[in-house]
Amino acid sequence: MYKCKNRGVVVGPGDDAGVFQYKSNLLVETVDVITPIVDDPYTFGAICAANSVSDVYAMGGTPLTALAILGFASCDFAPAVIRSLLKGAVDKLNEAGTCLIGGHSIEDNEFKFGFAISGVVEKNNILRAGGASAGDILVLTKEIGTGILTSAVKLGKMRRPSLKPAIDSMLMLNKTAAGAAVYAGAKGATDVTGFGFLGHALNMAKRSRVNMVIHNNKIPLMKRVKDFIAAGAVPKGAKRNLEYCSKNTSFASNISNVDKLSLSDPQTSGGMLISLCPEGMKKFDKVAGREKMSYSVIGEVVEGKGKLTVK
């Protein structure tokens, strides 16, 4: 992979966001662009914003500014649609304390929207994908299933109003989760997005040079995810993710193909996967309780060289 030799690079490509030191400041920078997953432009704009700032939270940082990137066929969309999209985005960015300070749009046959986000982080607060240690406990802060459920709606297998809980989950910022992780002294964390739970857990395991033991029955799933997988509402990305992860994952014999696909479901604006030492766990739980943030303990970190066991 491309490596920049500049001494300012603190975290380079391969983590949730890059970190660059300029004088005594640590800048966190990331970009994310997605295609529509819901019909309502206001909601889609807000989900895009939550999804884009998430990578800054996943580094333990604070997102400060945003640049919008919009690709659309100008003849197909009324200005009111774009206004509504931007309104949704700005409202969500404001919730994150992030200012939209510019952007760029291009003609594109396929609608795309996203943001480049810049923020700051304290040196001791940096959460890395490679920061998990043997003996840590793994927690996950959102339910899995946004890819399966949105494809069930697209295929006409699920009614639109039933998507509400998944939409609410995608709209939720990872701010509280990241704050709790930093307070608890966590060093390892990532957000669960396009590579699915397994893909992101495996990336953490590889970069941390540890193995992870995942308890499938502890993984929080959105309602009816397994039914829709069984009914064939499986995004291509889930199959791709599973194939990619299978080489380095050993599944217990009781783990079904439906289970494996749910663990591989690509998430939009997914939750954080955080690695915590047992003492950190108590602090994390204290913040979660105070902030009414739900989370699940889903596994543990053991010595190894970058493999997963799912049982």
Report the residue closest to Co ion, judged by CB: 16
Taking the complex as a whole, the smallest distance from the CB of residue 32 to Co ion amounts, in Å, to: 4
Stretch of 6-14, 30-38, 133-141, 250-258 contacting Co ion, by CB under 5 A: 30-38
Taking the complex as a whole, the smallest distance from the CB of residue 244 to Co ion amounts, in Å, to: 16
Question: Which residues touch 67 (CB under 8 Å, ≥6 apart)?
Answer: 100, 101, 102, 103, 104, 115, 116
Taking the complex as a whole, the smallest distance from the CB of residue 270 to Co ion amounts, in Å, to: 9
Q: What 3-state DSSP class applies to 56? A: helix
What backbone phi and psi angles, to 5 degrees, belong to 258? -65, -45
Taking the complex as a whole, the smallest distance from the CB of residue 62 to Co ion amounts, in Å, to: 16
Taking the complex as a whole, the smallest distance from the CB of residue 162 to Co ion amounts, in Å, to: 27
Taking the complex as a whole, the smallest distance from the CB of residue 112 to Co ion amounts, in Å, to: 14
Which CB, 9 or 255, lies closer to Co ion? 9
Q: Where do we find the tokens 């990619």?
A: 244
Q: Which two tokens stand for residue 22?
A: 């300029």
Taking the complex as a whole, the smallest distance from the CB of residue 55 to Co ion amounts, in Å, to: 4
Q: How many residues bind Co ion (CB under 5 A)?
A: 5
What backbone phi and psi angles, to 5 degrees, belong to 108? -155, 135
Measure the CA dihedral 119/125/127/132, to 10°.
180
Which CB, 88 or 199, lies closer to Co ion? 199
- Side chain identity at residue 225, one-letter code: V
Q: Does 191 bind Co ion (CB under 5 A)?
A: yes
Binding residues for Co ion restricted to 113-172, rule: CB under 5 A: none
Question: Which residues touch 301 (CB under 8 Å, ≥6 apart)?
Answer: 132, 133, 134, 135, 136, 137, 138, 205, 208, 210, 211, 212, 213, 275
DSSP state letter for 20: E
Stretch of 4-12, 14-22, 126-134, 291-299 contacting Co ion, by CB under 5 A: 14-22
Stretch of 128-136, 184-192, 226-234, 284-292 contacting Co ion, by CB under 5 A: 184-192
What value, to the nearest 5°, has the Cα angle with vertex 195 and ends 191 and 197? 60
Which CB, 55 or 143, lies closer to Co ion? 55
Q: Judging by DSSP bridges, how do beta strands 9-11 and 18-22 pair with one another?
A: antiparallel
Q: Which two tokens stand for residue 76?
A: 């197909």
Interface residue with Co ion, options 11, 19, 29, 32 (CB under 5 A): 32
Which CB, 126 or 229, lies closer to Co ion? 126
Q: Does 16 bind Co ion (CB under 5 A)?
A: yes
Binding site for Co ion (CB under 5 A): 16, 32, 55, 58, 191
